[in-house]
Structure 1
């Protein structure tokens, strides 16, 4: 018994010593303008004990000893060490500085994050806190609308159908990277944001690099780069539950859980959310499930593995057809909500344009610190996409106003179309649903080695390899009451073949892309001067196989492999004049392979003969910039000039002599000049009031007249056209944008913001394939002004931190045109097809952290 008492006394002694040895340390992490840094990492040096800051930059850490050192870090900022002791548990405000000694050089290298006052590129960084507060029911790209050079819209308004332009370049010419992995479609360069709907819940930081950018890849972008960094081993232990509601039935529920960094070096973060709604525009109902998983393992100071899975399985209705301004305003919905592409079938909403897709992306990142001077970061990744878009096929009843439930602005009467198909009996359906199915397998590796050649000189070299195979085919999905559908392809051996559900027609082909390349970069830094020079070379190999068995494609065909050699070089320098002022300049030239779709191969897939006119696009870009940094005020000025030579476009157009069939154009040799000036600033007027602003003034024009060909789907020449594009304004993006924002911190955990955005010098999307004798008359759309209002309020529920957010976008319900398609005959407002932007929308969200 005595021995038991002694053992109990010893155990109590050690337990007490352990408790007394722990010290609860608190503080707040801010940037140079005293704005909080949510998600900053706080680690007790020499241990794996750490935490991250909350929405307001606050943290509390139970240290394992009575004194020691805290290591404070955040992506793109200088790491800072702060001494703590039990005599002072609140260490107050800790300020991090954006500079060359960033959080984690491996992370910055792997994701090509630019560093303020060092990397000589124009850059804007959006933190997780801004996304949480301002996104609401907006699409993910819309969070960037106050960024210089950016124009983002919802296009037709369907969930995930938003698009983004950067300095006048579309998404196919803007590289989007998630954790260092490229996600642009390898056949056409597109980015489909509905595939990444869950990113807003798990993003640590997002950076927009305009122009040449700092990304280390073998195939550079033209307009810029969007780098998105998700949560990893820096995630705080715990989690949250999120709930939000909004206009038109918007509902979202989600949960995120994280182990934090455990003593064994393992960290797991998982997130999932369910989202649904009716859509602001009529007939655009949507639903989706977003998910994210990160498993990270810190083996030691030299090795770290990070496994990521992200995806979104979703379905949504779409608005495919446009109407003129007069036609929109004459509708009962007043234009903003009108959608001609939906109706009712058996009392349920039915769409003639409907999207369904699932594209999970898997990546494994390995960070290896070989020595104090050398490290390697490697990402292996894979993506498996499956889904497509449903469209209508047939005689045109779906767009015939006689088949509506009332006037021309009313929904489509699908029941009538079904009944007429039934009545035809053995004659078969004249109108059916068909799906354009698109699946792919995509594998890649991106590896970078960085070594210090000397104290001032660093060398980076890397490999970039990507292989992609995509399957594309049309198939009958619904006979809409009929017994079969007559194959509409007049080239088919079995033209009168009765197609059933699941039968393929019109297209059935495989596209293959293999890109291999290498890149290198030298960085020289001494005192206030930073200089870099980089180069890259790559080979892109394309191939296509057609499986459609018809008169011109007996038993299918396989193309030869076609190779395009690309290369590029860029350089730049930044000089810090003093602690407040810096200047930079960059210049670059590169030659890039054309895209497989519409560039290397023309037609809908049956044609496997390569386009003889396909050639590399050439880009020359130069930029100069100035930055000012002080405790209260930060500002940037950038002037850029980008020449785009031998640009190729291949728009598909409806064949006027064959309903439901398309013609394909081959327009090559186009030149364009994009130049402009960008200004942005942040001003901390008081401790409570923060002011932001930007102005982007662009002058983007086409600079050449060219001859072009129009082809049938089979590749047979249909006619020649002349495109007089010299002097034509680059369209489809606002060339002049302004933004102004106020953020007022009413209480310690309560803020209110007001944002203003202006878009002007916006020209309707022109149809080059029609040819034009006077492209200068392209319709100039009306400029518009929008205001957004929002708030966030933090509070305590029991022992849990909670945050409520509210957003109202377009608070004055402004009627504006966000997208337009020019009428090639009149170039007038009266005849242009338009999409109206969303009117007033709102959302209310609650996040409970535990």
Structure 2
């Protein structure tokens, strides 16, 4: 659900929804493995093609010269599986990534965790503009349906990464780059259909460069799905429009994009193990008992939200050495979720008791809506200087968030003295976030380069909610980073880096009370190898936390997951990923992560539990993609994912353990190039969970009771794309 209520919506789904305004020790001595093709597949930074992309990439992205663990995913790699599932699902096979879906089939509410860190700890930017919700820190992909169809590429930096705009990265940074401009006019019609009545319809166009200076391009999308879980239906629409001006030394882009979503709630999960085995799709959301004792389901137990983004980018090639980028942005979000409440207390909704026939009535069945109306706006900027051995970027940003949270009762069996339109709560929150940074790569010798990155960040947060209390906090963070990259020869490179990160609490943390800001020291060490046929990377990380805000496994009175500070905790791991070209027809891309993720001397309500596993942090994550091209225009991919067992709380209750799972998907893409009418006809197919496994990728704890989110059994999607 959207951030339109006072719940923290992350990859730990809860009965409620989030505000928008979410040891097994092992030897590391075998420091050997494979480095991913993604890590060396850099985005095309061709100034003559797209000067804007060059500056944005240099400002928020890294290259193989930077001592950071990362993966790139290009438009070409995304396309064969872009059949309606959301961006997190498309990223499922990247190293250290675990994904999940509330509806069970990758459409609607989806989530991602990286190195065990949930979406609230993954910094997300679009063209360098912050996307995470300012209050909850969450990322709500459902608000941007089919956004993958407008992406040129994305880069996932694991760990702290490099300085960027928006909330601090405590698990990863994900930056997305939208479509480049096209020199020639073109169009595209794409339709896909599949299981659970899923269908996606997309239309794209570009005028190409008019008079070698102007281009207008756009996309319209409609996506619907009934979902794997009962009634977990999604009705999603989105648009993307950009205008581009290209000059000799200037590139200006104006973008407008957004989406609307209506999603039936499916975040309650399943508590009953018998249901999990025999009625996996059962959904308790909207369930109530009518006046005659009959069990019914409210037909509009839905989340409704619209979000519109506006961006203006101005890129200037000042000289051979200097280039600059200045951006302004504005995001408008507004919407609500609606649900049926049985026997709600009058006092909770500002109603006074009434007397009917001598009986005092102080409870009623009612239908409520919880609203969020917010605005987010600001600017980001960067300047890049390149000369010989030195590559320096100066940049920063200043952004402001203004959110109004309020609730309305739209129907009640006993309405007391209420009037239509009354608000039973209303509170306001504002947040400003400003930062400046400077980062540089300096080539000390032909083989040795030094990386440095300094960021100053100021955060001011004010709120007056009944749950948060009166908040007026001001944080000043200093986040230094440094590293070395040593090229042993033309094929091998070693790197080491250190990064410091700080984060403020989110809105729900204030509801829990006494939340402290988090601190992280991240150490990364890696070996990269690249040849014509084999490219591999191995990376060891040690992330030491102070006061990490961990999910406790408990929920508050509105179903929001409660976090608390763990005074001392750490994540220690080995990441390996590779690209091996076996022949012209075969390519294998394996990856795995082995890790230990621990709270040290964890104290909960006065009881010391010693050293325990951090929730939602499996110690083994393995992915693999085998690609076979029997014909020039035919590609068959066999995708495999294994996720080890994990706990849903931090005290290692046996009932809180999620079992491991292994799933396989099959992806086929065939392209036809006609001699007339169409430039290309692409037929794609995707079979998910081809082994028909019953598995659970996510869940939560209600006190000591586990709730599970079943994922779909075998299902398929098929698509047809016409390009002209």
Both structures adopt the same fold (TM-score exceeding 0.5): yes
> Is residue 76 of structure 1 aligned with residue 23 of structure 2?
no
CA distance in 1, matches of 2:249, 2:122: 34
Question: 1:809 maps to what in 2?
Answer: 688
What SS does the aligned partner of 2:219 have? strand
- Please show how residues 469-548 of structure 1 align to structure 2 within 5 Å: 469-479=402-412, 482-484=413-415, 497-505=416-424, 507-525=425-443, 526-545=445-464
CA distance in 2, matches of 1:748, 1:663: 51
CA distance in 2, matches of 1:503, 1:376: 50
Aligned pairs, number? 669
Question: 2:543 maps to what in 1?
Answer: 642
- Please show how residues 630-779 of structure 1 align to structure 2 within 5 Å: 630-648=531-549, 667-706=564-603, 721-722=605-606, 724-765=608-649, 775=652, 777=654, 779=656
Question: 1:843 maps to what in 2?
Answer: 717
2:367 to 433, 455, 458: 433
What SS does the aligned partner of 1:201 have? helix
Q: Deviations along 1:284-334, whole A, 9 cap, x unmatched?
A: 111111110111111x2322111111211110112132333523146xxx3
In structure 2, do the counterparts of structure 1 residues 724 and 824 end up closer, same or farther at CA, with 3 Å as the change threshold? farther
What SS does the aligned partner of 1:704 have? strand
- Please show how residues 232-247 of structure 1 align to structure 2 within 5 Å: 232-234=180-182, 236-247=184-195
Segments of 5+ residues of structure 1 without an aligned counterpart are 1-32, 37-73, 82-100, 398-421, 485-496, 604-610, 708-720, 767-773, 826-830
What SS does the aligned partner of 1:499 have? coil
Question: 1:834 maps to what in 2?
Answer: 708
CA distance in 1, matches of 2:304, 2:462: 26
CA contact (8 A) 2:162 2:453 kept: no
Question: 1:598 maps to what in 2?
Answer: 508
2:664 to 762, 787, 797: 787
Q: Deviations along 1:44-77, whole A, 9 cap, x unmatched?
A: xxxxxxxxxxxxxxxxxxxxxxxxxxxxxx9634
Deviation at 1:168, TM superposition (A): 1.0
CA distance in 2, matches of 1:533, 1:446: 20
CA distance in 2, matches of 1:283, 1:664: 24
Question: 1:161 maps to what in 2?
Answer: 109
Deviation at 1:282, TM superposition (A): 1.0
Deviation at 1:459, TM superposition (A): 2.7
What SS does the aligned partner of 1:107 have? helix
Question: 1:355 maps to what in 2?
Answer: 303
Question: 1:417 maps to what in 2?
Answer: none
What SS does the aligned partner of 2:57 have? helix
CA contact (8 A) 2:552 2:649 kept: no
Q: Deviations along 1:173-208, whole A, 9 cap, x unmatched?
A: 110111111100111200011012131111111111
In structure 2, do the counterparts of structure 1 residues 351 and 619 end up closer, same or farther at CA, with 3 Å as the change threshold? farther
CA contact (8 A) 1:75 1:102 kept: no
CA distance in 1, matches of 2:563, 2:588: 48
- Please show how residues 178-193 of structure 1 align to structure 2 within 5 Å: 178-193=126-141
CA distance in 1, matches of 2:117, 2:607: 20
Which deviates the most, 519-528 or 196-205?
519-528
CA contact (8 A) 1:139 1:162 kept: yes
Higher relative contact order (CA 8 A, sep 6+): 2
CA distance in 2, matches of 1:699, 1:618: 19
In structure 2, do the counterparts of structure 1 residues 337 and 777 end up closer, same or farther at CA, with 3 Å as the change threshold? closer
Higher strand share goes to which structure? 2
CA contact (8 A) 1:320 1:353 kept: no
CA distance in 1, matches of 2:248, 2:640: 46
Deviation at 1:503, TM superposition (A): 2.2
CA distance in 2, matches of 1:517, 1:322: 39
CA distance in 1, matches of 2:677, 2:406: 55
CA contact (8 A) 2:364 2:414 kept: no
What SS does the aligned partner of 1:130 have? helix
Question: 1:107 maps to what in 2?
Answer: 56
In structure 2, do the counterparts of structure 1 residues 218 and 200 end up closer, same or farther at CA, with 3 Å as the change threshold? closer
Q: Deviations along 1:239-275, whole A, 9 cap, x unmatched?
A: 1001110111111111000012232411211000111
For the pair shown, the structure with the greater C-alpha radius of gyration is 1
**TM-score (ref. length: structure 2):** 0.85
CA distance in 1, matches of 2:243, 2:382: 22
What SS does the aligned partner of 1:705 have? strand
CA contact (8 A) 2:83 2:200 kept: no
Question: 1:340 maps to what in 2?
Answer: 284
CA distance in 1, matches of 2:663, 2:238: 30
CA distance in 1, matches of 2:434, 2:379: 10
Question: 1:253 maps to what in 2?
Answer: 201
Q: Deviations along 1:97-116, whole A, 9 cap, x unmatched?
A: xxxx9996313124x12212
CA contact (8 A) 1:760 1:784 kept: yes
CA contact (8 A) 2:553 2:700 kept: no
What SS does the aligned partner of 2:612 have? coil
Segments of 5+ residues of structure 2 without an aligned counterpart are 1-34, 346-355
In structure 2, do the counterparts of structure 1 residues 194 and 120 end up closer, same or farther at CA, with 3 Å as the change threshold? same
CA contact (8 A) 2:551 2:649 kept: no
CA distance in 2, matches of 1:647, 1:75: 33
> Is residue 309 of structure 1 aligned with residue 256 of structure 2?
yes
In structure 2, do the counterparts of structure 1 residues 749 and 539 end up closer, same or farther at CA, with 3 Å as the change threshold? same
What SS does the aligned partner of 1:731 have? coil
In structure 2, do the counterparts of structure 1 residues 347 and 201 end up closer, same or farther at CA, with 3 Å as the change threshold? farther
CA contact (8 A) 1:598 1:649 kept: no
1:620 to 506, 517, 521: 521
CA distance in 1, matches of 2:420, 2:221: 33
CA distance in 2, matches of 1:519, 1:218: 12
Question: 2:20 maps to what in 1?
Answer: none
In structure 2, do the counterparts of structure 1 residues 498 and 424 end up closer, same or farther at CA, with 3 Å as the change threshold? farther
CA contact (8 A) 1:567 1:592 kept: no
Deviation at 1:580, TM superposition (A): 1.2
2:495 to 584, 609, 613: 584
In structure 2, do the counterparts of structure 1 residues 730 and 423 end up closer, same or farther at CA, with 3 Å as the change threshold? farther
In structure 2, do the counterparts of structure 1 residues 841 and 350 end up closer, same or farther at CA, with 3 Å as the change threshold? farther
CA contact (8 A) 1:634 1:682 kept: yes
Question: 2:326 maps to what in 1?
Answer: 378
Deviation at 1:394, TM superposition (A): 3.1
CA distance in 2, matches of 1:107, 1:367: 9
CA contact (8 A) 2:682 2:722 kept: yes
Question: 1:205 maps to what in 2?
Answer: 153
CA contact (8 A) 2:408 2:422 kept: yes
In structure 2, do the counterparts of structure 1 residues 755 and 671 end up closer, same or farther at CA, with 3 Å as the change threshold? same
In structure 2, do the counterparts of structure 1 residues 735 and 236 end up closer, same or farther at CA, with 3 Å as the change threshold? farther
> Is residue 467 of structure 1 aligned with residue 400 of structure 2?
yes
CA distance in 2, matches of 1:464, 1:616: 21
Q: Deviations along 1:688-708, whole A, 9 cap, x unmatched?
A: 11111111111111123346x
CA distance in 2, matches of 1:425, 1:795: 75
Question: 1:445 maps to what in 2?
Answer: 379
What SS does the aligned partner of 1:360 have? strand
CA contact (8 A) 1:286 1:316 kept: yes
- Please show how residues 16-55 of structure 1 align to structure 2 within 5 Å: none
CA contact (8 A) 1:566 1:616 kept: no
